[in-house]
Structure 1
Amino acid sequence: MSEAKSANQNSGRWIYSVASKVTRNIPGLTLTIIICTLAAQISLLAASYLPLKAIILIGSPSIPSYFPEYFKAFEQRELFVGLCLAAIAFYLLYLASESITKKLTVLGSEKLVSNSSKLIVFDGQDDVARKAYLRLTRSLAAVVFLALTIAALGFIYLELSVAVISFWLLMGVVARAITALKKGHSSSTSEATYELVNSMGSFGFLAAFSYLAYDLLSDTPPSLLPAIIGVLLTRQIMQRATLLIQDVILLKEQRLQISALFFSGHKLIGETKSKATRFWNIFTKTQIDNWVPALVNSIAQKPYTEHCVNWHQSGVHDVFALEVNSKNSLGATDTYLIKIFNTTRSTLAINEATLLSEPHILNLCTIPFIHATIMDGFHCHIFRPEHLNKVPAIEFGTHQLELTKRLMRSIPSPSLVQKYTRSRPLLWDRLNDSALANLGEALEISKHQEAFRAFMRDIENTRYLLRTLPLHICNSQVGKDQIFISSTGALTASYWGNWSLEPIGASLHISKKLEPSLPALLLDLQAQRDDTQAVTAQHLYLSALCFQLDQLLVRQNYISAAEILPQISNLTSALNRPVLEVAICNV
């Protein structure tokens, strides 16, 4: 437990505690992996170096004088073939070592997790454990490899090794200084850190090569062979040091999960809180008093003198909302609803802003949307509602159905339809052969085989009928905290993160009461939309059933899906019958 706790104090101590834990639990396996990793790295280095020597050899009239003396005991052609065969052998050794390392890493991570004697801590823990163990053993091997390589470089070319060590020491001091200066500020992203480390490695090799070039042009240049070997070793040092730093960074990013997996006394607590700390910090009383007045005043462009802020339950995880009542100098009060989306909800924020920013949508039941912006890296939406009266929870089902029907009056603009169809499948696209094939496989061992075959015979006609229906904006996932009702009974929605375009009739709840209510709904739609004049109640019912089928396929409720297939087949046949009769009359 003390080892795990040390992780919270110092990253270096945490890395050391994890390495100690691993080497104590499975010392033989860890040592074998380190040896195999070293063998792979050295073999790859030799496989890269030997072809160069072979090319230099075959391009020379004789064996170069700077080659080792024992090489001169061989014929030039024999030596060339020997170097080529050695390069191939080292490359095969590299492949074999890599394969052994992968297999032993899986075995080692499984032993570590089983030794902790825990239940499943989180989803995907085996993959996290395997990658963590791989990075840890690779880091240990990199440390050994760097020590051996720097020692070899020092033996061959002392001045160059001093230059390489000096470079990394200087980079370490610079990184420490930058970290100290940025303390308390938002840290850079992992991607930016990796790019910076890669740039450091490349710059280090360039600096080392510049020193080598300067030394070769000096009055006392080094021998050619040590210079060539020095370049190769320097490149390997820069690459391995870069990978080592990146592996350590990745291990630190998953320290909570790794500690929970490998330390028997450590539990996975506080992970969600640590990830959301920056998001939560926006909603402290001090922060709210600072940014809310500034944001409202900048958006409204009014000199408000007082702001009363209350928490608003958005009903969506990681989407926080505030009710703001702003009073001006004349005593008049304006109400605002501010929603902030955590980074995990950025897609929902973009979806909502895309819809509500579209200027030519008719009959959309939404509270007035006035602005979208980015605040401290989080999406922020500002609304100007006339009221904030949520529907009573006990009446939610009734009002949700009513809102669903009213949304069928909404007419999406051509530009919105174009954007949507270019990026997402519509209902008839989602009922494709691939999705239905899984349903067919499941129903092969059920009593619904014949119903499925009948449905598939008419599937193209069903898709055609769905394509002929006008589209509307659907908000099927709206919850009880997101529907407002006025004193006159008008319904509006405050959340549109999961909106979609669907044929009218889709998202209607299938029940015994639905079919008798469709004629009245159709009359209302035909009064509001000119493009519904050719639509019948059967079209609405077919659309509702197909939407229900799609939802059931997503949830893999195949038996429930099979039970509505006969209704879809019958409606498709009935709606196609008038077309067939007209075609026969025209013959």
Structure 2
Amino acid sequence: MKVLSVLRWFASVGFKVFRVVPWATSLGVLSTLVSQLASLLAALLPLKVIILLGSEHVPSYFPSQLHDYNKMALIIGLGGTALAFFFIHLVAERLIARLAAFGARRLIAHSRKLALFENQEQLLTRGYQRFAAALAGGVFIGVAALALVLVYPLQAMVVVSYIAIVWVVLYFVQRLSHVWRVREVGELTKLIGVLADLGFFVTFVVIVLDVLLGTAVSVFWAIVTLLLVRQLFRRLASLVGDVATLYSQRLQLNALLFNGHLYAGKAITEDSKGLWTLVDPDTFGSWLAPLIERVAGPAAGAPQVRWMQSGTPDVLMGIVRTQSEPQQSYLVKLFGKNHGALSRHEASLFAAMGNAPAPLPCLCLVEQLESFNCHVFSWPMVNTVKPQTVGRDAMTVTAGLFSIRPAPSLVALFTRSRPMLWQRLDDDLLRRLHLFVRDIEVSMLEHFAASIASIKITLEAMPLAIVTPELSPDALWHDNEGSVWASHWGRWTLEPVGSNWPVNEKFLPLLPAAFEQAQKLRTELQAITIMHVELAALMFAFDKACQRQAYRSAIDLIEPILRAYDGMDSRPVAEGR
């Protein structure tokens, strides 16, 4: 981010805040400053008490004013004063929180706008508190720097020189490195914190060397200087972090504070900008051709790419075709940084399943491009499906997954990480359903409650299947033979066979044919009946309805669930994982 633009924005926010709530802001800054100073003194005085406890007399390097007092009186006095400053720190922090909440309410009321987004008052309260802390931090740094110049001029020169050197280095790194420009605020704050700690140790080394060389500064003031420098660097790191965090929320804060600003949703993040630059026509050739060559081998010419919408924000998807004969086709997916977990979850599926049959594609390569995750699939698909056939094509994918047995390593990995369907059905769910049930449905719900334990045991014993909920028009594809494939697997789960099948009157009757076809390809499915599979489909739909808090829809599923459960074959289900 550009420093001058950040400072200009911070100044404009400051003028607005002081104009609307001048006394609360001033008192908040003063309280923050008092809190910081009290915290510093509360940490300094116990150190002096420890020094006194280890000395027979008041050390000679203590200020001369303290030599007139008895050692025990000094210990009690300094200890009591430390507790008093700690109490002042707590009171000041409490006052800061109340002033921040008051200031945020006044600012929102002054803007005279509708509710713009969730938790806007909490966001403005935290922002207002950060603003006051940043101002107080700036005042504290100025006062500490002045005290340092008066007490220990050499260390003041060291601190200023260190800050100047760090500033210049970061400036040139930011100008020359594209990777640095797309770093997140949290990473910047961590870096500044590390540099601040390094600055403290540089000052510490200089103080030690100066004392060993016979400085005129007393040991007492050397200790005070060390603590002062420690607090100065901490406040400087906090100041940078507060300003950077506020600037990252500038669209929301501008909309809340300024009448001329509107809020149209989440801003395009720096990460997203970096991601989209990878698919710029002048950019993608430099990384795409070497990537495809690693999979397909040397090519006669540059590969052709057609970018397709993925249906998921910050997930970019392109169909790549090689120029050499025979022509090969690949799917390249780029994941934004906010989808790191999504990409890792997708990769874990294919790492365990290997070259599984359709509808699972073949993952050829997992790579990282400028800190963005990239997946390359073998992809001989023609085009996405037509909107009017999405329902049936999604069922084709689900039916195809019934016949694929999940690898034991995948089952072990998933069951250690995520709750299974039978584990998600708890007693709290039944208590909530009682709030929405009608009088004529009470007995049915009681029957369901009495059967739920047995239903869960049945589901737990059933064979598992891979389930993917991402079966939108953008995620479904046809190949030349008419087979249906899915391109998004970032939210896959493992559920009892039958899960994710539509349970409406139109599609549920098609489940037996799909199950019979899966039984021919997967032998462990011979141990269950169609009623088991129908029960799994209905319980999966029941769980999804409850997750959406669509409790009336869930209650409507109870009768067919009981009908499927009561109609199951009495023979035991053999486990097949």
TM-score past 0.5 threshold: yes
1:214 corresponding residue in structure 2: 209
2:17 corresponding residue in structure 1: 22
1:265 aligns with 2:260: yes
Decide whether aligned partners of structure 1 residues 364 and 386 sit closer, same or farther in structure 2, where only a CA change above 3 A counts: closer
Where do residues 213-232 of structure 1 align in structure 2 (5 Å cutoff)?
A: 213-232=208-227
Partner secondary structure for residue 323 of structure 1: strand
Q: CA deviation at 1:531?
A: 0.8
Q: CA deviation at 1:553?
A: 0.7
Query: In the aligned structure 1, how far is the partner of 2:425 from the partner of 2:182?
Result: 45
Query: In the aligned structure 1, how far is the partner of 2:56 from the partner of 2:396?
Result: 92
Q: Normalized against structure 1, the TM-score is what?
A: 0.88
Q: Normalized against structure 2, the TM-score is what?
A: 0.90
Query: In the aligned structure 2, how far is the partner of 1:249 from the partner of 1:541?
Result: 54
Where do residues 298-317 of structure 1 align in structure 2 (5 Å cutoff)?
A: 298-305=294-301, 307-317=303-313
Partner secondary structure for residue 533 of structure 1: helix
Comparing 60-69 with 332-341, greater Cα deviation is found at: 60-69
Query: In the aligned structure 2, how far is the partner of 1:392 from the partner of 1:254?
Result: 40
Pick from 144, 166, 170 the counterpart of residue 139 of structure 2.
Answer: 144
8 A contact 1:483–1:492 mirrored in 2: yes
Pick from 370, 374, 386 the counterpart of residue 376 of structure 1.
Answer: 370
Partner amino acid, structure 2, of 1:261: L
8 A contact 2:502–2:508 mirrored in 1: no
Decide whether aligned partners of structure 1 residues 285 and 220 sit closer, same or farther in structure 2, where only a CA change above 3 A counts: closer
1:484 aligns with 2:477: yes
Partner amino acid, structure 2, of 1:544: A
Pick from 329, 332, 348 the counterpart of residue 335 of structure 1.
Answer: 329
1:282 corresponding residue in structure 2: 278
1:3 corresponding residue in structure 2: none
Query: In the aligned structure 2, how far is the partner of 1:306 from the partner of 1:201?
Result: 48
Partner amino acid, structure 2, of 1:205: F
Decide whether aligned partners of structure 1 residues 516 and 90 sit closer, same or farther in structure 2, where only a CA change above 3 A counts: closer
Comparing 486-495 with 81-90, greater Cα deviation is found at: 486-495
1:537 corresponding residue in structure 2: 530
Q: CA deviation at 1:28?
A: 0.4
Where do residues 101-116 of structure 1 align in structure 2 (5 Å cutoff)?
A: 101-116=96-111
Partner secondary structure for residue 286 of structure 1: coil
8 A contact 1:215–1:221 mirrored in 2: no
Q: CA deviation at 1:375?
A: 2.4
Decide whether aligned partners of structure 1 residues 394 and 93 sit closer, same or farther in structure 2, where only a CA change above 3 A counts: same
1:203 aligns with 2:198: yes
Q: CA deviation at 1:227?
A: 2.6
Query: In the aligned structure 2, how far is the partner of 1:7 from the partner of 1:163?
Result: 26
Q: CA deviation at 1:99?
A: 0.7
Partner amino acid, structure 2, of 1:264: N
2:513 corresponding residue in structure 1: 520
> Cα deviations across residues 423-478 of structure 1 (Å, max 9, x unaligned)?
122211222334444434x3478654433322121111001111222111222331
2:575 corresponding residue in structure 1: none
8 A contact 2:362–2:378 mirrored in 1: yes
Query: In the aligned structure 1, how far is the partner of 2:571 from the partner of 2:350?
Result: 40
8 A contact 1:508–1:544 mirrored in 2: yes
8 A contact 1:451–1:562 mirrored in 2: no
Query: In the aligned structure 2, how far is the partner of 1:213 from the partner of 1:486?
Result: 73
1:129 corresponding residue in structure 2: 124
1:43 aligns with 2:45: no
Q: CA deviation at 1:551?
A: 0.6
Partner secondary structure for residue 473 of structure 1: strand
> Cα deviations across residues 498-527 of structure 1 (Å, max 9, x unaligned)?
222121121221133456444434432322
1:493 corresponding residue in structure 2: 486
Decide whether aligned partners of structure 1 residues 153 and 557 sit closer, same or farther in structure 2, where only a CA change above 3 A counts: same
Pick from 525, 530, 547 the counterpart of residue 554 of structure 1.
Answer: 547
Partner amino acid, structure 2, of 1:402: T
1:250 aligns with 2:245: yes
Partner amino acid, structure 2, of 1:523: E
1:428 aligns with 2:422: yes
Pick from 92, 95, 115 the counterpart of residue 120 of structure 1.
Answer: 115
Partner amino acid, structure 2, of 1:147: G
Decide whether aligned partners of structure 1 residues 30 and 502 sit closer, same or farther in structure 2, where only a CA change above 3 A counts: same
1:461 corresponding residue in structure 2: 454
Decide whether aligned partners of structure 1 residues 263 and 573 sit closer, same or farther in structure 2, where only a CA change above 3 A counts: same
> Cα deviations across residues 47-83 of structure 1 (Å, max 9, x unaligned)?
2222233333444444455555554555443343222
8 A contact 2:381–2:480 mirrored in 1: no
Where do residues 74-85 of structure 1 align in structure 2 (5 Å cutoff)?
A: 74-85=69-80
Query: In the aligned structure 1, how far is the partner of 2:390 from the partner of 2:347?
Result: 25
1:585 corresponding residue in structure 2: none
Decide whether aligned partners of structure 1 residues 432 and 213 sit closer, same or farther in structure 2, where only a CA change above 3 A counts: same
Query: In the aligned structure 2, how far is the partner of 1:292 from the partner of 1:7?
Result: 31
Pick from 399, 423, 430 the counterpart of residue 405 of structure 1.
Answer: 399
1:452 aligns with 2:445: yes
Partner secondary structure for residue 384 of structure 2: coil
Query: In the aligned structure 2, how far is the partner of 1:395 from the partner of 1:318?
Result: 26
Partner secondary structure for residue 129 of structure 1: helix
> Cα deviations across residues 209-251 of structure 1 (Å, max 9, x unaligned)?
2232233233453233323322222222222222222222222
1:168 aligns with 2:163: yes
Query: In the aligned structure 1, how far is the partner of 2:214 from the partner of 2:483?
Result: 91
Q: CA deviation at 1:257?
A: 2.8
Query: In the aligned structure 1, how far is the partner of 2:288 from the partner of 2:257?
Result: 44
Query: In the aligned structure 1, how far is the partner of 2:538 from the partner of 2:204?
Result: 70
Pick from 316, 327, 341 the counterpart of residue 320 of structure 1.
Answer: 316
Q: CA deviation at 1:342?
A: 2.3
The unaligned stretches of length 5 or more in structure 2 are: 573-577
Q: CA deviation at 1:27?
A: 1.1
8 A contact 1:361–1:412 mirrored in 2: no
Partner amino acid, structure 2, of 1:495: H
2:291 corresponding residue in structure 1: 295
Query: In the aligned structure 1, how far is the partner of 2:570 from the partner of 2:89?
Result: 70
Partner secondary structure for residue 265 of structure 1: coil
1:88 aligns with 2:83: yes
Query: In the aligned structure 2, how far is the partner of 1:9 from the partner of 1:242?
Result: 18
Q: CA deviation at 1:492?
A: 2.4
Query: In the aligned structure 2, how far is the partner of 1:400 from the partner of 1:563?
Result: 24
Partner secondary structure for residue 368 of structure 2: strand
Q: CA deviation at 1:536?
A: 1.4
Query: In the aligned structure 2, how far is the partner of 1:292 from the partner of 1:360?
Result: 24
Comparing 533-542 with 282-291, greater Cα deviation is found at: 282-291
> Cα deviations across residues 533-554 of structure 1 (Å, max 9, x unaligned)?
2211211211111011111011
Decide whether aligned partners of structure 1 residues 20 and 388 sit closer, same or farther in structure 2, where only a CA change above 3 A counts: same
Decide whether aligned partners of structure 1 residues 63 and 300 sit closer, same or farther in structure 2, where only a CA change above 3 A counts: closer
Q: CA deviation at 1:318?
A: 2.7
2:153 corresponding residue in structure 1: 158
Larger Rg: 1
8 A contact 1:461–1:572 mirrored in 2: no
The unaligned stretches of length 5 or more in structure 1 are: 1-5, 580-587
Query: In the aligned structure 2, how far is the partner of 1:305 from the partner of 1:177?
Result: 38
Query: In the aligned structure 1, how far is the partner of 2:302 from the partner of 2:66?
Result: 89
Partner amino acid, structure 2, of 1:165: V
Partner amino acid, structure 2, of 1:161: A
Q: CA deviation at 1:529?
A: 1.7
Partner amino acid, structure 1, of 2:5: N
8 A contact 2:317–2:332 mirrored in 1: yes
